[in-house]
Structure 1
Amino acid sequence: MKKFTLILFLLSFCFATAFAQTRTITGTVTSAEDGQNFPGVSVFVKGTTIGASTDLDGRYTINVPADAQTLVFRFVGYETQEVAITSEVINVALKVASEELEEVVVTGYAPKSKESITGSVQIVDAKKIEQIPIASFDQIIQGQAPGVSVISNSGRPGQSASINIRGVGSLSGGTQPLYIIDGVPVDAYDLSTLNPNDIENMAILKDAASTAIYGSRGANGVIQITTKKGKPNEKSFIMYRGQYGTASNANDRIEMMNSEQKINYEVDLTNRGLLSLRPQGGMTDDEYNTYLDSLKSIDTNWKDVFFRTAQVQSHEISTRGGTEKTSYYLSGGYYQQEGTLIRSNFERWSSRINLDHKVNDFITVGVNGTVGYETNSLTVESRANIWAPVFASLLLNPYEQPYDENGNYIENFDTYSWGNPIQQLDLNDSNNNQYKILGSLWGEIKLYKDLYFKTNAGMDFYDWLSNNYYHPDSYWGNTGGYVNGGASKSFQRGRAVTISNTFRYAIPLPEEHKLNVLVGSEIIESKSESLATSGTNFGHDGLTTISGTTEPLSASGSYWEHSFLSYFATANYGFMRKYYLDLSIRRDGSSRFGDDAKHATFWSVGASWNIKSEPFMINIDPLSSLKLRLSYGTSGNADIGDYTWKGTYGFGGSYFGYPTSGPNVLNNPNLTWETSSILNLGIDFGLFSRLNGSLELYHKKTYDMLLNVPASLTSGISSGMQNMGAMVNKGIELQVEGDVIRAVDFVWNLNINGAYNHNEITELFPGEDEQLFDNYIFKVGYPARAYYITEFAGVNPANGKSLWYDANGNLVNFFSDDNRRVLNKSMYAPINGGITTSFRYRNISLSAFFNFVYGKYMINNTRFFLASHGTFAAYNQTTQMLDYWKEPGDMTEVPLPEGVGEFDTRLLEDASFARLRNLTISYDVPGKYINKYKISSIRVYAQGQNLFTLTKYQGYDPEYPGIYEVNNYPMYKTITFGIDIGL
């Protein structure tokens, strides 16, 4: 009995001791924004695995050890709070993380917080846009967003880029994304008049949950642009930004023969009896050799003659601020870039005003607007002609020269029968001018608690004018119908008006629920017109305009219009700030489609789950965030001509000298939307509260494609547009970004993104699985525009003749287009991405940005002329042609130059590349040196763009969005110096 009593006493003592070592803490967690109770917040003891989470009313209870000192409160997207345990009741108000506040984005017709987004949205903020001197802001997206392919159209000043989001979305319709600037749609091909430094951020919408709300225009993705604005009660801030630098050709892997090489090449081919390029004629040997030596002594580098080191400069001043009721942003800018090709230049003047005013507690109004003017001076050029400046810089023989010893033009050229190309450029003139006005007026009324009505009226207006002058003594002034000079003038003017009205309501529910609904309508009306005229035979010297010509040459005009009428609705539901559901639907009507198919409905559903907010994830400290997203929906493509469905006639041709008319377009009242269905799975994650990343998988099927289908010849038209065929894009995207090293004085940040896209045509016309073109093909089972070309097999070492493969893969010694084969290669790269890294040590920063494209192929049509195997040997050739076959047994890829050039896989080149897009070093002047002068900030910097390129492509540049590259204006690299001053 005594033993039992002792044991009972000891057990009671142990339990009492154990109970005394723990205590219970309770409390409530609320939102610092609105004071509402906060469910699902993780609460745990710092340094332990002991934890709990708040219930639906934001309350929690947790048993903590007696020696516990700190509780940690954590929820994804909010600032983690550590609170000392000083009582048994601890209440906490969580604040939204500052970076999350900055990432509230507009992904439709209303803003959304980042935590509630269920779709695939990529944000490019102003910090990645500012300070880089570019003419068109779409160029800065290159390599910044996974799955977004951005290829510059040309190196000519002011040129925009071609963008494909998650592969090519159409075979015959438009493939560019929809651009929305402050709620106003704009033309994807008209972006250079806008100042990139006015942009606050860009949201790239890639999946159906994000784009279906735009219905018939969202199939190729949406780029939603928000410009800078002031904030209420913000102190006025003035910023000046100035830059100056130089530009030169970025990449030149074309090695042309010098004078000695070219002369020897011509003589060798002549002596071998292959081509008669440099006959001795009646000259003696000494006279002939003296003549050749005189030619070799000239050695003109025509690239240096046609291209230059050009100047680049930009200046901008802006101000932003606000009072209690009014906020504003104003800016004015000037950008000027000389082209690296002589006689080309681009200038832009721009201004912007963004003004918001709170009339009273119920009404807010605003205006967003930009006015831009640009002028583009051009060289008279044509990609298809051998006399174009870029071609001339390569094909002119080095023993020719533009000027004599007195600096006068040399007019007689052995190579060019039409005269000195430099003189031709100086005689003629070409320029384009454009005005653009883009803006909107909006107003929002609070009708009831959390019920708002908003109306927005936007307009996109442009006025474009082109003038060309052809001197009476120039080649261009005496060809193509021109005699004794001529002039042409054309203009195009258009405007698009967009009016949208929406009702937005946050439905009152218990605190753990949030439900926001939006319904609205939108009407878009677009009209444009153009006129072109030309005249020839100037009546007097010195005249340069059409009014000075005596004979009319041509006159034409056109008019287009289209309209959209849409109704839409969205619903966004959130539960416990962990689970989110998005629904959207849109009904579109468009004049671009047939009478029987003008309307279509598009929809989407998306869901997300903040997994890290679950109690079972509390103890996984390395994983600071984890979110799962899933979406599916449809969107459409209406980017076709305004009258594609309607049977029309046009004038053209003649019959016994009389003008005739005939059908232009076949009537198709059933022509309707090209539709895409998109499935998207995404995972967002954070590691160690330092690294953030996302992984996405997607499958996009495009069906009822808009295709030009071959038509019966009895119709008088070769093809007509119909809804047929299907195509699939599927892929994976990965992005990781964060601070690799984060110390007091030093930060190293790294951002890596990459994407793989598989594109495949799955269906074409009934009973047909292919459609042939010159050197590419639409074929089921292959990517869009797969190359269809005869395959070169090498050079026969016995006789120096070229060899090819026939359609069955057998070796043949003759060329034939019948031996063309389908290659699993395309102009669309399956892999692309970018790497951005930055280092900051105190006030010094260094950043570098690379982008890469892999698996892109392009026909180097320029090499057909430069490496012609004798066909164009009268012009200069690449040094590769010197290695041609000379005797039996020679192993070479260059056949005997007999003047037989063929279009085969020798011209199909790997155009993959990696490029250093930007390198910047900067210094921020410490405030202690400048604040006393009422200057808030000064930043000085130097930067380079396109400094080097790694590629196998043998042309001027691999970055071109086409099947053929011929005579394209080369890309440029720049080195600039700049200063930013803030007051």
Structure 2
Amino acid sequence: MQTQEVAIKSHVRVVMKSDSELLEEVVITGYGSGQKLGSVVGSVTAVGSEKLEKKPVANVADALQGQVAGLQVFTPSGEPSQSVRMRLRGVSSISSSSEPLFILDGSPISAGTFTALNPNDIESMTVLKDASSTAIYGSRAANGVVILTSKKGKRGSKATINISAQYGVSRMTGDNVEMMNAQQWLNFQEALDPSMKNNAAFQEKKNFYINNGISTDWADIFFGGSAPVQQYDLNVSGGTDAVNYYFAFGHYDADGIMDDSNLRRETLRSNLESNINKWLKAGINLNLSYQKYSTTAFGGSGNSVYNKAYASRVYRPTQTYYEILKDDNGNFLGFGDRLNFFDELGYWNPYYLSEIQPGNNTMARINGNTYVNINPIKGLNIRAAQAMEAFDYRTSGVALPMEPFKDAGTAKESFQRYYAFTYTNTAEYKFTAWDRNHFSFLLGQESIIRKNESFGVSVEGLTDTRLMLMSAGATPKMPSHSKNNTVFNSYFVTGSYNFDEKYYLDATFRRDGSSLFGLNNQWGNFWSAGAMWDLKKEAFLNDVDWLDDLQLKVSYGSVGNSLGLDPYMSFGLIGTGLLYGGTSGTAVANPANPDLTWEVLKSTNVALSTRLFDRVSLDVEYYQRKTEDMLMEIPYSYTTGFSTGWGNVASMVNRGVDITANVDILKNVNGLDWSISANVNYNKNEITELFNGLDEYVLANTGLKLQKGMPYGEYYYVRWAGVDSRDGYNMWYDKNGNLTKNFSDDDAVFTGKQRYAPWSGGFGTRASWKGITVAADFSFMLGQYMVNNERWFTENPTFAAKNNQTTEMLTMWQKPGDITNISCVDSPMQFDTHLLENASFMRLKNLTVSYTFPQRWMKKTGFMENAKVFFVGRNLWTVTKYKGYDPEIDSNIQLGNYPNTKQFSFGVELTF
């Protein structure tokens, strides 16, 4: 609250006012109480609700892209149910996950929870980067921590009802490739085979298509339309002197740009806190969600002719989507019904196949936590918290007994049930001694129990579309069944000290035990130490008017990585179905490693933060992160009976810089406020150790090679040298840089091109004037490359007679002297650097335009407190040289990926 001074009277009534600036600076960084952002020793970035809410996507994490220096966020697909991928300060592991640890209201959650949360229920997201801020989470925090805090009611405030609704459409982000139309493709067939010029049947067909303007744009067929997106929210919040509450309902409904993908989601949230008496407080946070969704058929099938993203490139433009109608003389009359079978291609219509193979997925999820907080004496808080994450997932599908599955219909059902219980007990004591010495200590214990079980059943031989239950199947198939349990136990302590809010010290120690690892190495110790100096409070800077803030931070510590690892991988598990002498049986399926343990990441962070002229804020951080005991699958001699086994055998280092800047250009100048912000990260990694003393190791079929002293993720390919204008053959460079026309994998070298973007960040601006607010946020990733596997099929003379091709193929070499990048038909294409494309991009991630109606209008209604109308756009503009559908894939290779989407959404928000 703001400090107020009043005259002394016999009766004094003071109405306190919130100090909103102070409230915005408080962040949650660990197990204890919140801290003012300016007093946090560790590297912490907070993103407020204004950046997260009202975004027309199901996943709240999508809004983080470009908001935090060092945090790369990818949404690699246009599927409405698609989850995002995150990576903080580079890739820290080769075989394990590089995904951060996610915490919701104090308890860990899985990444899948993001699609179950309503973005409008999230108050803030805080990203913890360095060891000083993450070591309290021990063995799970090597990749950073992302803390989500849900909205809560304000104690002592009247009940407020907030209603919002928005409706919009999705479209494909764009396409940088021009495919041949029917006339171009038919003319190109004559270039491939000159005899076609004298082929009467071919010429008749060619003239018919060209004269009647018949040409199919398959990208337009599959992705050319718009898909609706709508979202409706209702929440009630408020509080009395003893209780504060927040209740919310959300409905989200989105169709994919592919007609067979969609998502429907309902969410309920209840956050309740109560001061039972002066020393006892209790609360509960509960989120329930139900999702029903379908994913596009064949979407994960790569180069399947029924994968629509792949088919949109290779289907010939002379194959129509609808039946061609002709009169008795063969004259074109128009188009008829949709074709279920494409006779020219010999393929079934992918949409027809998805219609006769309907399937859907349902997910019921609960995330909740309760706590009891005892404050027996001043400064001491004893807290017991219990959290649960659980979901019940079901997927079902059938193949109707129709062509091409006549008399062979199938039905399948699969189930998965997961739960995780987290029990956390802490005691935190804060006190001040000798006026200016401030201490804080926290002691804690935590246990996590997880259980995951799934099974699936299917039948064949269904013959009647009216009887598609599995009980009607003639032939049951072997069911699948799996289960696993995981247990974590932890003890931790953290302490902090500051003198006069000028000199800060903190230290953390945590001991973790995990059932994920070998019996000889199940316990590990993790720690950190950090210091901060607030130079502005020194006498020699205190009177410098233009310097508002200046802080120097240093931290070092170790954290672990146990994310993305399978339970029991340290044990020699038994596999079934193995054959010996023609008889099935069981055998040890993988080698045991009782010494297997987590990866350890040792992190150093140095940061300088300042604010100048009460307008310019600047944060610069340098970090080094060394991963030791890195998990890798090691090749074994076949004499052991195994091809590979897991071990802690490698090391790598990430070094980089985070820079964040904010400038308030105008501050209430005739009612106008205008600010800009930007952040950038540069990261470089280096492999420092491999297994068995090796200096190098090639990752088969990836185009990547591991080598000491080199970055992980630098492509290792044969260098393409172009097309010889004399004979039209492809040329390459050998290892020594000499030209050759004989392709050999032995000539592969490091290309200097990275699979992981070394540069990333974002920038944005926000302006408001008399109720009108405009905010734009851009994100970028620079220096990343990706193999565009589509071009193997669409710029390849080998496939030109069967598949459609890009218009680049019209420049194919045909005679000596032709200067081109497309070889002659007789020169086979190879996987080399010519398929390696620059996948750097910059995109307008979010654009928001809103108008808040004047308060004097609201007062006249007598019941309405606020009213706003708004427009939100997502992925509206993308700049990239990449020739695929979208560069935001986060993969070394792209083929058949569901194109990303842009959204246009209009909405209204009312507060009562």
Q: Give the TM-score band, short-chain normalised.
A: over 0.9
2:644 maps to what in 1? 719
Alignment partner of 1:210 is 2:147: no
How many angstroms apart in 2 are the aligned matches of 1:112 and 1:279? 79
Displacement of 1:752 after TM fit?
0.7
1:6 maps to what in 2? none
Displacement of 1:653 after TM fit?
4.3
Residues 270-295 of structure 1, C-alpha deviations (whole Å, 9 max, x = no match): 117xxxxx696xx6x4x542221223
Larger mean CA deviation between 367-376 and 296-305 belongs to 296-305
Larger mean CA deviation between 850-859 and 376-385 belongs to 376-385
Whether the 8 Å contact between 2:649 and 2:690 is mirrored in structure 1 is yes
How many angstroms apart in 2 are the aligned matches of 1:415 and 1:560? 50
SS of 1:214's equivalent? Answer: helix
Whether the 8 Å contact between 1:169 and 1:175 is mirrored in structure 2 is yes
1:37 maps to what in 2? none
Alignment partner of 1:451 is 2:380: yes
Whether the 8 Å contact between 1:632 and 1:679 is mirrored in structure 2 is yes
Question: Which residue identity lines up with residue 302 of structure 1 in the other structure?
Answer: W
Larger Rg: 1
Residues 415 and 783 (structure 1 numbering): CA distance in 2 closer, same or farther, change over 3 Å? Answer: farther
Alignment partner of 1:497 is 2:435: no
Whether the 8 Å contact between 2:547 and 2:611 is mirrored in structure 1 is yes
Residues 621 and 722 (structure 1 numbering): CA distance in 2 closer, same or farther, change over 3 Å? Answer: same
Residues 795-830 of structure 1, C-alpha deviations (whole Å, 9 max, x = no match): 000000100112222211022222222223222100
Alignment partner of 1:472 is 2:401: yes
1:399 maps to what in 2? 318
SS of 1:823's equivalent? Answer: strand
Residues 724-774 of structure 1, C-alpha deviations (whole Å, 9 max, x = no match): 111011111111113112213111110111110011111111321222121
How many angstroms apart in 1 are the aligned matches of 2:435 and 2:546? 30
Alignment partner of 1:530 is 2:454: yes
1:91 maps to what in 2? none
Residues 582-629 of structure 1, C-alpha deviations (whole Å, 9 max, x = no match): 111000000011111000110001111111111101332221111111
Question: Which residue identity lines up with residue 383 of structure 1 in the other structure?
Answer: S
How many angstroms apart in 2 are the aligned matches of 1:202 and 1:413? 50
Whether the 8 Å contact between 2:400 and 2:465 is mirrored in structure 1 is no
SS of 2:692's equivalent? Answer: coil
Larger mean CA deviation between 390-399 and 119-128 belongs to 390-399
Displacement of 1:864 after TM fit?
1.2
Residues 167-202 of structure 1, C-alpha deviations (whole Å, 9 max, x = no match): 011111111000000011111244201111111111
2:566 maps to what in 1? 641
SS of 1:725's equivalent? Answer: strand
1:291 maps to what in 2? 205
TM-score (norm 1): 0.87
| Equivalent in 126, 137, 156 of residue 49 of structure 2 | 126
Larger mean CA deviation between 512-521 and 304-313 belongs to 304-313
Displacement of 1:410 after TM fit?
2.9
1:16 maps to what in 2? none
Larger mean CA deviation between 211-220 and 775-784 belongs to 775-784
| Equivalent in 529, 536, 540 of residue 612 of structure 1 | 536
2:9 maps to what in 1? none
Whether the 8 Å contact between 2:552 and 2:608 is mirrored in structure 1 is yes
Alignment partner of 1:104 is 2:26: yes
Alignment partner of 1:765 is 2:688: no
* Mapping for residues 864-883 of structure 1, pairs under 5 Å: 864-871=792-799, 873-883=801-811
Whether the 8 Å contact between 2:578 and 2:587 is mirrored in structure 1 is no
Alignment partner of 1:951 is 2:880: yes
1:734 maps to what in 2? 659
Whether the 8 Å contact between 2:696 and 2:706 is mirrored in structure 1 is yes
Alignment partner of 1:926 is 2:844: no
1:430 maps to what in 2? 359
How many angstroms apart in 1 are the aligned matches of 2:854 and 2:379? 45
Question: Which residue identity lines up with residue 964 of structure 1 in the other structure?
Answer: I
Residues 44-96 of structure 1, C-alpha deviations (whole Å, 9 max, x = no match): xxxxxxxxxxxxxxxxxxxxxxxxxxxxxxxxxxx9x9xxxxxxxxxxxxx99
How many angstroms apart in 1 are the aligned matches of 2:715 and 2:339? 44
Whether the 8 Å contact between 2:369 and 2:385 is mirrored in structure 1 is yes
Displacement of 1:866 after TM fit?
1.6
* Mapping for residues 97-246 of structure 1, pairs under 5 Å: 98-110=20-32, 111-246=34-169
Alignment partner of 1:332 is 2:245: no
Residues 511-533 of structure 1, C-alpha deviations (whole Å, 9 max, x = no match): 10110100010000000001122
Residues 474 and 649 (structure 1 numbering): CA distance in 2 closer, same or farther, change over 3 Å? Answer: farther
Residues 678-737 of structure 1, C-alpha deviations (whole Å, 9 max, x = no match): 110111100111222211010110001011111221233221110111101111111111
Displacement of 1:665 after TM fit?
2.2
1:566 maps to what in 2? 490
Displacement of 1:319 after TM fit?
1.2
Whether the 8 Å contact between 1:866 and 1:877 is mirrored in structure 2 is yes
* Mapping for residues 437-836 of structure 1, pairs under 5 Å: 437-475=366-404, 477=405, 484-639=408-563, 640-655=565-580, 657-742=582-667, 743-773=669-699, 774=701, 775-836=703-764
SS of 1:144's equivalent? Answer: coil
How many angstroms apart in 2 are the aligned matches of 1:919 and 1:936? 25
| Equivalent in 275, 280, 295 of residue 358 of structure 1 | 275
Alignment partner of 1:386 is 2:305: yes
Whether the 8 Å contact between 2:514 and 2:523 is mirrored in structure 1 is yes
Question: Which residue identity lines up with residue 341 of structure 1 in the other structure?
Answer: M
Question: Which residue identity lines up with residue 343 of structure 1 in the other structure?
Answer: D
How many angstroms apart in 2 are the aligned matches of 1:936 and 1:897? 71
Displacement of 1:784 after TM fit?
1.6
Displacement of 1:102 after TM fit?
2.0
Larger mean CA deviation between 356-365 and 898-907 belongs to 898-907
Question: Which residue identity lines up with residue 973 of structure 1 in the other structure?
Answer: K
2:329 maps to what in 1? none
Residues 655 and 253 (structure 1 numbering): CA distance in 2 closer, same or farther, change over 3 Å? Answer: same
SS of 1:359's equivalent? Answer: strand
1:318 maps to what in 2? 235
2:11 maps to what in 1? none
SS of 2:111's equivalent? Answer: coil
How many angstroms apart in 1 are the aligned matches of 2:580 and 2:464? 37
Question: Which residue identity lines up with residue 690 of structure 2 in the other structure?
Answer: L
Whether the 8 Å contact between 2:56 and 2:872 is mirrored in structure 1 is no
How many angstroms apart in 2 are the aligned matches of 1:256 and 1:216? 50
Residues 706 and 279 (structure 1 numbering): CA distance in 2 closer, same or farther, change over 3 Å? Answer: farther
1:275 maps to what in 2? none
Residues 258 and 842 (structure 1 numbering): CA distance in 2 closer, same or farther, change over 3 Å? Answer: same
Displacement of 1:658 after TM fit?
2.7
SS of 1:704's equivalent? Answer: strand
Residues 545 and 392 (structure 1 numbering): CA distance in 2 closer, same or farther, change over 3 Å? Answer: farther
Whether the 8 Å contact between 2:798 and 2:828 is mirrored in structure 1 is yes
Structure 2: where are the runs of 5+ without partners? 6-16, 326-334
Larger mean CA deviation between 527-536 and 352-361 belongs to 527-536
Question: Which residue identity lines up with residue 292 of structure 1 in the other structure?
Answer: K
Displacement of 1:508 after TM fit?
4.5
How many angstroms apart in 2 are the aligned matches of 1:868 and 1:398? 17
Residues 622 and 665 (structure 1 numbering): CA distance in 2 closer, same or farther, change over 3 Å? Answer: same
SS of 2:342's equivalent? Answer: coil
Residues 138-177 of structure 1, C-alpha deviations (whole Å, 9 max, x = no match): 1111000000011113111121111010001111111100
